[in-house]
Structure 1
Amino acid sequence: MKIETMKIFTTSQIKQCDRLTIENDGITDIDLMERAASACTDWILAQYQRDEHFYIFCGNGNNGGDGFAVARQLSKQRRKVSVFSASEHKQLSKLAQINFNKAKAVSGISFFHFNELKTLPIKDNAIIIEALFGTGLNRKIEGETAEVIDILNEIDLAKISIDMPAGLFADDLPEPESSIFKADTTLSFQFWKKSFLHPETGKYCGKIYILNISLSKDFIENEPTENYVIGEELIRKIYQPRNDFSHKGTLGKTAIVAGSLGKMGAAVLATKSALRSGSGLTFTHAPKCGSETLQITCPEAMFVANGKNFAEEFNFEDDQTLGIGPGLGTEIGTEKAFLIFLKNHKKPLILDADALNIISKDTTNLSLIPKDSIITPHPKEFERLFGKTKNSFERLELGRKKAVELGIFIILKDHHTQVITPENEVFYNITGNSGMAKGGSGDALLGILTSFLAQDYPPKHAALFGVWFHGKAGDFAAERFSKEAMLPSDLIGQIGEVFKYLSKKNPSH
């Protein structure tokens, strides 16, 4: 059973949760391990219903215990199973030893040592299951186990990791030049791990499935954390279905400030996404050179000229909610007018792309961003704004510091985009896909965010809902057009499907 748990816990917190579950449920630690193994086995049996041969690689610790238990359970379901483990079993953990002994008692399982992998041919219909370390790893893998990982990574077969790929740490980056198992699928227990969600480490995990093993609800509810996944349960609480008695005057005034000579497509994409996202009245402030383009492609929006070829005027009605930046350009006239505007504007707004590039020219400009505003930098824009970092973990910590310091929401765009709040919280988004890695996707995001903010979603809710919504529309677009062929305009075309999805009480999509 797949669940979408909101909280992300550290390794030590997960161990506490395990202990409390054992105490409260009146079970033993071996019972909890059996529960975890059963969740993995059920998933594997549902996924593979043919004549596959399962090669299970077990470490000496409790993750190896999971692997031995899975081997026994699969064999009892008449599946072909071979188990590989270290040459010496003297250092097996207590639970691993118990499950190793139970697996040994099953006549249908073949047992091998790691050092036999080089000479034993692996069948073409094999599935490799890795259960070497899990979250228990706290050092670089070396020796025989590292050699096994390197060999397995060269084999072109489906690979599954139990809990997390060997070589990764749950909460941080691995050591340089570590041997890391590259899984196609990771079956993890109850919680997302931080390392699943960063590009340097997540690339080893493949498709991630979070399996419910009924850990303590009291612990999960009461244990504090600053790290979360944006789960669908949260989104359904945030979503505000349209009131049947609403009208265009009650659904916000969205003002998109975008476009310049040669970059009017950005303004079109941002405007279309704002319109599709439910904005009551939508205005596009853009140079005169784009008036025909915008009025033909976005007839539902009102055009307001702010210059000839580049934006030189930043004048708005007080009740408009502003999204500024896509294709804006960084001309001197634009920069001067934009910074003067920022000095006098106090309401939350959305800033993206060239708006951020203008601000980044002088770090003192950061203080001009109104409190509770939302900025949407990709990693390079983030670097220009706040400085270089060594990796995405370090970048996130700098983002936390700056969000608190400036009192703003930072949407740090990445494979798993992070929403960083002024309260030092981080929400990772798990919708979206690599098909969105095309110019124009960010313009669509700005339109969605600005529309939601205009519709009176609080800034935090607008940020969380907007990022999830944008990714979900991207997922629908990829499903329809493929990741390779989908366009940002296809994403915008799927916005209505996301609203329809949210309107269903029991969605099956």
Structure 2
Amino acid sequence: MKNLLTASQIKAVDAYTIQHQPIASIDLMEKAALAFVAAFARAYPDRQQAILVACGQGNNGGDGLAIARILAGKGFSNVRVLLTHFSSNSSADYKINLERLKQQVPSVPVFNNTNELEFLNNEIVIDALIGAGLNKLLTGAYAELVALINASSVTVVSVDVPTGFSSEGEIKLPYQGIKAALTISFQLPKINFFFPESAKALKKFKVVPIGLDEDYIQSLPSDWKLITHQFVGDTLKPREKFSHKGTYGHALILAGHTETMGAALLATGACLHSGVGLVTASIPQSGLTALNVSLPEAMFLSRNALQKTSLNKYQAVAVGPGLGVGLEQTQLLEYLLAQAQPLILDADALNIIAAQQELLKKIPQQSIITPHLKEFDRLFGEHQNWWDRVETARQKSKALQMVIVLKNQYTFIALPSGEICINLTGNPAMAQGGMGDVLTGMITGFMAQGYTGEQAAILGVYLHGKTGDTLAKNREVISASTLSKAIPKILNRIK
């Protein structure tokens, strides 16, 4: 996995790189500007495109000045520059790049205040006003300029971070910063890019390397991690010769109710498709025919027999998809909680626990819970923003020594160590009922195969999204059952 860093840590990485490569800060800025322009030109290749580069007076503005000069040098013929002059101070690298712009491309029009400026139709504004490190609301002239840009019909591309957007911490709403169509971020994405409130600030982001010391980045202490393809590939174990069904574990899934049998079938099927050796579904008797027809590989355990069965024969036990929340289901859950074996808890299992908070403390250590937003808040209290929600997940994961999979576009996995792992796979084509049931089945399948709870959660979440990403290349909408059946192909590709 890769570290994500705070704005102050990234600033320290800049300083470390400048000292140890060695490289002058103005040359590092040049590398950043070149990387930005390369990404920008791929996204907007029209050399006649009208472009306004709005520059603050710090290093983000220095980036903007270098970008304007490089764009003009690469044949973009309709570039203008706005200098804000909202402060009496300018950074040294800003001053150097302003002089370079005036000397090397004097044909680029430079405006010194917004009164001289009129936005052009279909113009692209490159936002190089403030950049990373801002941790307060915009005020004064910057707020007025940002409001003017947002109110116009221009497309905005931000340099590193949209002006007014904080790199980490609570994203204040209503959001009043730049609303960027694209943000081109240097070396690393910012932590807040992965929070749902970021949708107010940026539609999409692109990360470009600028030559910062990657070894130093990974050496820094950080509780924020990005799940990588390489990590997943290194974690997955190959299926060896002479192995058999007993090698890959036995999973038990307690799920399904009279009207929600589909959830049980989806979870059981995904568990099978994830490579488990054996899976037993404890479902109502009324669902047995459906189980035998759709998943003949799965075994059946009646609800009456479940309470007389030792869990020792199972390497993973999942509870919840489509289970229902009645007295019978509550008693079954309490029985499983009393066995002191790690569980995967989802859906109605979480709803039962939310209604009886004393059960939270009975969840065995090293268990995995997989709530969506509403389930999470029912368990741990209402939250006004996602930053606080994720911080609660971090605290509860450590206190209860369990893995919390907080599902979203970018799923957050809180580990008992205090680390938050962020998953990048997945897409809106997966926004259909049953996807959570498939994820629960996948995590259960991996845990039964001998992976730790942390590994099982990370593998399940990443591969669930990766399968959806692969399928989405050929379709607009993906059903949960379609995704489940495609899991083996994705596993084979990654291994």
TM-score range, shorter chain: over 0.9
Q: Percent identity?
A: 37
Amino acid at match of 1:102: R
Q: Equivalents in 2 of 1:31, 1:89: separation in Å?
A: 25
Q: Could you tell me how far 1:292 is from its partner in structure 2?
A: 1.4
The amino acid across from 2:489 in the alignment is: E
Deviation at 1:36, TM superposition (A): 0.9
Residue in structure 2 matched with residue 486 of structure 1 by the alignment: 478
Q: 1:290/1:220 Cα in 2 relative to 1: closer, same or farther (>3 Å)?
A: same
Equivalent in the alignment of 1:127: 124
Instruction: Tell me if 1:35 matches 2:35.
Output: no
Corresponding residue number in structure 1 for 2:354: 360
Identify the range of structure 1 (274-283 vs 16-25) with the bigger mean alpha-carbon deviation: 274-283
Structure 2 unaligned segments of length 5 or more: list them.
none
From 271, 275, 288, the equivalent of 1:274 is: 271
Q: Are residues 89 and 383 of structure 1, via their aligned partners in 2, closer, same or farther at CA, if it must alter by over 3 Å?
A: closer
1:109 partner SS: coil
Could you say which residue in structure 2 is the equivalent of 1:244?
241
Q: Deviations over 1:60-110 (max 9, x none)?
A: 211111111111111100112111221567432221121122122213422
CA drift at 1:217: 3.2
Flag the 1:286–1:390 CA change in 2: closer, same or farther, 3 A.
same
Matched, 1:332 2:327: yes
Match of 2:43 in 1: 47
Partner SS, residue 301 of structure 2: strand
- Partner Cα distance (1:172, 1:462) in 2: 29
- Structure-1 residue corresponding to 2:344: 350
The answer to whether residue 215 in structure 2 is matched with residue 221 in structure 1 is no
Say whether residues 1:301 and 2:298 are aligned partners.
yes
Q: 1-side partners of 2:133 and 2:358: how far apart?
A: 45
Q: Secondary structure at the match of 1:466?
A: helix
Aligned to 1:507: none
Residue 420 of structure 1 and its aligned partner are, at CA, apart by: 0.5
Name the Cα RMSD after superposition.
Answer: 2.0
Whether the aligned pair in 1 keeps the contact of 2:175 and 2:201 (CA below 8 Å) is no
1:289 is the counterpart of 2:283: no
1:59 to 53, 56, 66: 56
SS of corresponding position for 1:161: strand
Aligned twin of 2:206: 209
Q: Determine which of 482, 494, 500 is the counterpart of 2:492.
A: 500
CA deviation vs aligned residue, 1:426-478 (integer Å, no higher than 9, x gap): 11111112233322111010000000001111111111111111111121232
Q: Deviations over 1:28-61 (max 9, x none)?
A: 1111111111111111223333232322221121
Indicate whether 1:92 and 2:75 are aligned. no
Q: Which residue of 2 aligns with 1:147?
A: 144
| Aligned counterpart for 1:196 among listed residues 179, 193, 206 | 193
Deviations 1:125-146 (A, max 9, x none): x333211111132332123322
Q: Is the 8 A contact 1:312 1:334 kept in 2?
A: no
Q: What TM-score does the superposition give when structure 2 sets the normalisation length?
A: 0.94
Unaligned runs of 5+ in 1: 504-509
| Partners of 1:169 and 1:88 in 2: CA distance | 20
TM-score normalised over the length of structure 1: 0.92
- Aligned AA (1:18): D
Describe how 1:244-263 pairs up with structure 2 within 5 A.
244-263=241-260
Looking at structure 2, the residues matched to 83 and 490 of structure 1 have their Cα atoms a distance apart, in angstroms, of: 51
1:112 is aligned to 111
SS of equivalent residue, structure 1 residue 360: helix
Summarize the Cα distance change of 1:376–1:174 in structure 2 as closer, same or farther, 3 Å threshold: closer
1:346, distance to aligned residue in structure 2 (A) = 2.1
Distance 1:39 1:292, change over 3 A: same
8 A Cα contact 2:37 2:71, kept in partner: yes
* Aligned residue type for 1:16: A
For 1:319 and 1:229, how far apart are their aligned partners in 2? 35
SS at match of 2:158: strand
Specify the alignment match of 1:396 in structure 2.
390
Structure 1: how far apart are the matches of 2:81 and 2:380?
A: 50
Q: Out of 431, 440, 451, which is 1:446 matched to?
A: 440
Structure 1 counterpart SS, 2:206: strand
CA positional deviation for 1:188: 0.9
SS of residue paired to 1:244: coil
| Match in the other structure for 2:461 | 467
1:341-365 Cα deviation digits (max 9, x unpaired): 311x222221101111111222221
* CA distance in 1 between partners of 2:161 and 2:416 (Å): 31
Task: Say yes or no: does 1:431 pair with 2:428.
Answer: no
* Alpha carbons of structure 1 residues 140 and 450: separation in structure 2 relative to 1, 3 Å: same
Structure 1 CA distance, aligned partners of 2:86 and 2:448? 65
Distance 1:160 1:241 in 2: 44
Given that 2:86 and 2:141 are in contact with CA atoms closer than 8 Å, whether structure 1 keeps it comes out as no
User: Is the counterpart of residue 161 in structure 1 residue 155 in structure 2?
Assistant: no
Aligned to 1:234: 231
Shift of 1:312: 7.8
**Contact 1:314/1:338, CA 8 A, preserved across alignment:** no
- Find the residue that maps to 1:410 and give its secondary structure: strand
